[in-house]
Amino acid sequence: MKLLQHLKKTLGHKRLNKSIPPQFSTLIKDKMPASALLGKQRAFITETSYGNIPITLTKETCIHFRLFPNSDIITGIRLRFGTYCRTNQCHITVQINNLTHRINASYLVDNEYVDIPLSTLQTCTPGQAVDISIYSEDATEENVVALWCSRIPPLFIKTLCLKSLVLPKVSAPRVSIVIPVFNKALYTYNCLLALQACDTEISQEIIIVNNASTDKTAALLANCAFKIINNSENQGFVQACRQGAEMASGEFILFLNNDTQVMPGWLSNMLKVMDTDPSVGITGSKLIYPDGRLQEAGGIIFNDASGWNYGRLQDPTFPQFNQSRAVDYCSGASLMIRKSLWEQLGGFDMRYAPAYYEDTDLCFAARQAGYKVFYCHDSEVIHHEGITAGTDINSGYKAFQAINHEKFRDKWQTVLATHYPPGTPPEQAIERLDL
């Protein structure tokens, strides 16, 4: 209560007819602050967002983002600041649409959420975006705060545009990205848009294997300046990946699902893991659901060959999911392997055709050959899970999950005997390879 009283005393506001002040050379639009808009009786009228990325509000920095209220009255905003465990004398300006509010940072508590009440209630339209900017015009090196943020997932374009999609041509790519495709042209389009926007400084080629799609996939790929394999029949995921790998000329082969959207740094950070430690043969990405929840931070396999996605449905910003580490397997939704190792192992084992357990089997084979399998925490990929294969485990591709589980258990039963049993807490099971 004392903090709120102090804030009310120090709040100032004025209406602006201008947008963000022009002096900010760094405008951050890809981060979502830990925040929520407040309505009547300080109830949340937007979803509460979290984050563990500190963005320092220097004089040059402005964070711009949007929140979508479910009510028509805004009474305040909740934010979480980092004060570097000291009292700061700078001021923080929060601009909501055309109204600005200035608070004294000396009243903030390190890493604590603070509800900033507005002296004038703001009206808005439920479901319509509210533009918010946060900055400090008088920050100094000794008087500066940070705002805790998370990454904003890439926008999913809902209308297919059959325009040309290209990446810079390279004669000797470091990475060959293999994308098997069966229908779902809109997801493939969004996947390619993200690839076109992220980590293009990395020498790479894209190889798309079209598994006899019957939708607009062929028309989309006709406008793509990539390597394309058009199968007359659906060959399944395993064989499509093997076909793509045959065309790969990169030092590394990266298998990527077409229902993914990569994030900035995804590829460069995977390469960093490989380049730093030659004993790492395979590395995989942090997979995140479109709603921001974690899908997988590396995979766990129990001694009955059943698996678990570490961190599933939790907050991807938690510390335990933000350290690269050896894991039992990485999902084939975004998996990189050294081409030399791929050839040494013979690629995905065809016994798992058309799909499921081929990625887990490859990781076990790599480890048997003396290589590590690593989860790369700062390679982040949005995964629209189940878009192509579906989610019904009794039909379609999904039915092979149970069939291939038996094949995998029979093949690796000696190794599996060293694993933990089902029911072991994930926090214990994930540490097995560190012991």
pLDDT score recorded for residue 15: 34
Q: How many CB atoms lie within 10 A of CB 141?
A: 6
- Give the pLDDT confidence score for residue 30 in this predicted structure: 82
Kind and range of the H or E element at 349?
Answer: none
Instruction: Give the gyration radius of the chain's Cα atoms.
Output: 24
* Residue 369, number of CB atoms within 10 A of its CB: 11
Enumerate residue ranges in the chain where pLDDT < 50. Answer: 1-19, 390
Q: Closest Cα to residue 177, out of 196, 203, 198, 204? A: 204
C-alpha to C-alpha distances, 51 to 21, 86, 149, 297, nearest whole angstrom: 26, 21, 4, 16
Is residue 289 within 8 Å of residue 381, measured between CB atoms?
A: no
Q: Could you tell me which residues come within 8 angstroms of residue 309 by beta carbon, excluding any fewer than 6 positions away?
A: 287, 295, 296, 297, 299, 300, 331
d(Cα 57, Cα 149) in Å, to the nearest integer? Answer: 12
DSSP letters spanning 158-227 = -S-----B-----SS-SEEEEEEE-S-HHHHHHHHHHHHHS-TTS-EEEEEEEE---STHHHHHTTB-SE
Output the six-digit token pair for 192.
Answer: 């390619």
Please give the DSSP secondary-structure letter assigned to residue 2: H
Cα–Cα dist 192/198, whole Å: 10
Q: Is the peptide bond before 425 cis (omega within 30 degrees of 0)?
A: no
Tell me if 94 sits within 8 A of 144, measured CB to CB. Answer: no
Residue 147 contacts residue 70 (beta carbons within 8 Å): no
Q: At what angle do helices 358-368 and 236-247 cross, to 10 degrees?
A: 50
Match 């984050």 to its residue by tokens: 51
Per-domain residue ranges for the chain? Answer: 2-151, 175-434
Parallel, antiparallel, or unpaired for β 12-15 and 53-56? unpaired
DSSP secondary structure code for residue 271 in this structure? H
Cβ count within 10 A of residue 162? 14
Give Cβ neighbours of residue 68 (< 8 Å, ≥ 6 apart).
46, 127, 128, 129, 130
CA distances to 52, 113, 129, 311 from 317, in Å = 6, 16, 25, 11
- Domain 2-151, architecture per CATH: Sandwich (2.60)
Strand partners, 326: 374
- Which pLDDT value is given to residue 5? 41
Are the CB atoms for 267 and 379 separated by under 8 Å?
A: yes
Lookup result for tokens 């080629």: 205
Do 293 and 313 form a contact (C-beta atoms < 8 A)? Answer: yes
pLDDT at position 84: 93
With contact defined as beta carbons under 8 Å apart, do 50 and 317 qualify?
yes
Q: Do the first three CATH levels of 2-151 and 175-434 match, i.e. the same topology?
A: no
Which CATH number does the domain 175-434 belong to among 3.90.650.10, 3.90.550.10, 3.40.50.2000, 3.40.50.10490? 3.90.550.10
Burial annotation 104-131 (CB, 10 A radius, 16+ → b, else e):
bbebbeeeeebebebeeebebeeeeebe
**Token couple for 429:** 């099971």
